[in-house]
A and B are shown apart, each in its own frame.
Chain A
């Protein structure tokens, strides 16, 4: 019996990494505050440092690889798409020509507008991505349960994640059995679609039947017992420092709002 593994349940779950060991609610507060601040600022001078900050936090949390895998793809798509759309959309008015590529004139103003849009999208999504790559759903649900969320809702959220994996496995099994009966399941999109759609019926019926069994199985584990539940795996509650960090993040967010609204308000009172 691995006593080191068992002893881990006797204390709060820790990884030894400062960011990862923050309470999920603290992390959520910080990430949401910065995500909203990116939306409010909509400026590359704020967005670029925020994007770099997201990468640094992910790296310090030891999750840079997972983070950059998704963030890199997203950034590539957003940069290409927004830049082209902005250049196409800004051909008239008071514009400064920047460069001409094979007869296509690019303008300075459209570049800046494009970068403002890109960095606000990437700043917003980067903040959320940092949260989801450094926080497991299980820990998040635990924290929500501690804040009063029902046990049932928490279970539904977590089980849904596993159900997606199970349904994918079941779908592969059905497709393979179709294949063994001589039905063409590989080829162009049309062939694949023709093979895939008939599997939806058994897949859904199977899912419904297994949900009923799952409910009974969970009832056998006293899932709905009207008693105060024990948590075998516990996370440390937010420390005073974490509370300060959360408040500071929201102060930054409020600051960006004031910064953006100040000129408008000043104009109103002039």
Chain B
């Protein structure tokens, strides 16, 4: 069943001449993990804003076509109610902290307070999520004094605790150091085990290759490629549309070019190791 369906969607921001999204058609299935990749300015964040309802409720502009969320057109959705349906974590960890709570525990609980969840239930959910995301040690800390990686973890916890069916994660690691990035992907790994519909915008292709079920390549406001992760990320043509290939896929193509093709083009490191081992066993090289 489609969680979100985009039919002939085009969108132009206010006071701009060009469309940021052009004739987008796609279905996002419930429970799947989607990766969106592509060069900067390709329309990835605009697509996220559209699915989250920020377009057309927050950003006005000109929207053509239909965006259907859970069978209801996005224009008919109560924008505030959408936040209870679709979680949104974005790139800047510093602006995602409310700035009005004194402890991480209260910060994580804020969304649930706004939804009017009973206090005992809030305590139970926040405790569980903080344990799950391994931020128990930070509970009494002031959220305004955390590092970028810690803030991003807290932002994730805040959204996850709201238990939305769908989560949009827009470049969550772009402003983080390697340690913070590792923290975030640890969380994403945990999320993948749930039944949620996940949409991840990310430049780190190796991570997308490892976690996503399907990948969409955005270029100049259009969907250049979409399909199962392996099919898209092993295709060299994506590079012509501003997307990068994983190191493993490049290695696989290089092997083929050298006359030593592997059984298939690997897209993750583990897959590459496995395929090379098989190749060596078969060829004794």
Chain A residues at the B interface, C-beta cutoff of 8 Å: 1-2, 5-6, 9-10, 138, 151, 155, 158-159, 162-163, 165-166, 210, 213-233
Contact string, B109-151, partner A, CB cutoff 8 A, digits 1/0? 1111111111110110001001100001001100010000000
B residues 81-107 near A (Cβ < 8 Å) are 81, 83-84, 87-90, 92, 94-100, 102, 105-106
* Separation of A215 and B96 alpha carbons in the complex (Å): 9
B80 contacts chain A at the CB level, 8 A cutoff: yes
What is the CB-to-nearest-CB distance from B71 to chain A, in angstroms, rounded to a whole number?
21
A229 contacts across to B, CB distance below 8 A: 113-114, 116
| Nearest CB of A to B187, in Å | 16
Interface pair B127/A6, CB less than 8 Å apart = yes
List, sorted by A's number, 27 A–B pairs whose CB atoms are closer than 8 Å: A9-B105, A138-B102, A158-B100, A162-B99, A166-B99, A210-B95, A213-B95, A213-B96, A217-B90, A217-B95, A217-B96, A217-B155, A218-B98, A220-B87, A221-B98, A221-B110, A221-B162, A224-B79, A225-B81, A225-B83, A225-B84, A225-B114, A227-B116, A230-B117, A232-B109, A232-B113, A232-B123
Residues of A within 8 Å of B84, CB to CB, are 222, 225
In this assembly, does B15 line the interface, its C-beta being within 8 Å of a C-beta of chain A? no
- Report the bound CA distance from A158 to B136 in whole Å: 26
Known: A6-B123, A230-B118. A224 touches B100 (CB 8 A): no
The distance in angstroms between the C-alpha atoms of A142 and B232, with both chains bound, is 52
Q: Is the CB of A232 within 8 A of B99?
A: no
Closest chain B residue, CB of each to CB of A163: B99
Distance of A147 from chain B, by nearest CB (Å): 18
Nearest-neighbor residue (CB-CB) of A219 within chain B = B83
Nearest 3 pairs between A and B by C-beta?
A162-B99, A221-B111, A213-B95
Residues of B within 8 A of A227 (CB): 114-116
B162, A222: Cβ atoms under 8 Å?
Answer: yes
Besides A6-B127, A222-B80, A227-B114, 6 new A-B residue pairs in contact (Cβ under 8 A), listed by A number? A1-B136, A10-B123, A220-B159, A223-B114, A224-B80, A226-B81
Which residues on the B side are within 8 Å of A215 (C-beta)?
Answer: 58
Cβ-based interface call for B78 (8 A):
yes
Q: Which residue of A lies closest to B83 (CB)?
A: A222
Which residues of A lie under 8 Å from residue B63 when comparing CB positions? none
Chain B residues within CB distance 8 Å of chain A: 52, 54, 58, 78-81, 83-84, 87-90, 92, 94-100, 102, 105-106, 109-120, 122-123, 127, 130-131, 136, 139-140, 144, 155, 158-159, 162
Is the beta-carbon distance between A162 and B144 smaller than 8 angstroms? yes
**With A221-B162, A222-B83 as contacts: A1 and B114 at CB distance below 8 Å:** no
Number of A-B contacts (CB under 8 A): 124
CB distance A214 to B78 under 8 Å?
no
Q: How far is the CA of A213 from the CA of B98 in the complex (A)?
A: 11
Who on chain A is nearest to B53 by CB?
A219
Are the CB atoms of B140 and A2 closer together than 8 Å? yes
Name, among B111, B120, B127, the residue most crowded by chain A CB atoms within 10 Å (CB to CB): B111
Whether A159 contacts B159 by the Cβ 8 Å rule is: no
Complex Cα distance, B92 from A215, in Å, reads 13
Contact check, A221 vs B122: say whether CB atoms are below 8 A apart: no
B109: which A residues are within 8 A, CB to CB? 232
Assembled-state Cα–Cα distance A93/B216 (Å): 90
Of the listed residues B89, B100, B130, B144, the one surrounded by the most CB atoms of chain A closer than 10 A to its CB is B100
Chain A residue contacts of B122, Cβ below 8 A: 230, 232
Across the interface, which residues of A come within 8 angstroms of B118, CB to CB?
230
Residues of A within 8 A of B136 (CB): 1-2
Which residues of chain B come closer than 8 Å to A226, judged between CB atoms?
78, 80-81
A9-B115 in contact given A2-B139, A232-B109 (Cβ < 8 Å):
no
Question: How far does the alpha carbon of A23 sit from the alpha carbon of B58 in the complex, in Å?
Answer: 38
Cβ–Cβ < 8 Å partners of B131 in chain A: 1
A217 to chain B: which residues have CB within 8 Å? 90, 95-98, 155
Query: In the complex, which of the residues A138, A151, A216, A217 has the most CB atoms of chain B within 10 Å of its own CB atom?
Result: A217
CB-CB nearest in chain B for A220: B88
> What's the least CB distance linking A212 to chain B, in Å?
9
Partner of A138, one of B52, B100, B120: B100
Contacting residue for B100 out of A9, A162, A210, A228, CB 8 A: A162
- Select which of B98, B102, B110 is within 8 A of A159 by beta carbon: B98
Q: Which residues of A contact B83 (CB under 8 A)?
A: 219-223, 225
- The one of A2, A214, A223 in contact with B95, judged by C-beta atoms closer than 8 angstroms, is A214
In angstroms, Cα B140 to Cα A221, docked, is 20
Expressed in whole angstroms, the minimum distance between the Cβ of A166 and any Cβ of chain B is: 7
A222-B114, A223-B114 known; A213+B90 contact, CB < 8 A: yes
Q: Give Cα A159–Cα B107 distance, bound, in whole angstroms.
A: 13
Q: Identify the closest chain B residue to A213 (Cβ).
A: B95
Contact B127 A1, beta carbon cutoff 8 Å: yes
Q: How far is the CA of A163 from the CA of B94 in the complex (A)?
A: 12
A9 vs B83: C-alpha distance when bound (angstroms): 25
Would you call A216 and B88 a contact (CB within 8 A)? Answer: yes
Nearest chain B CB to A33 CB, angstrom units: 29
Give complex CA distance A215, B109 in Å: 18
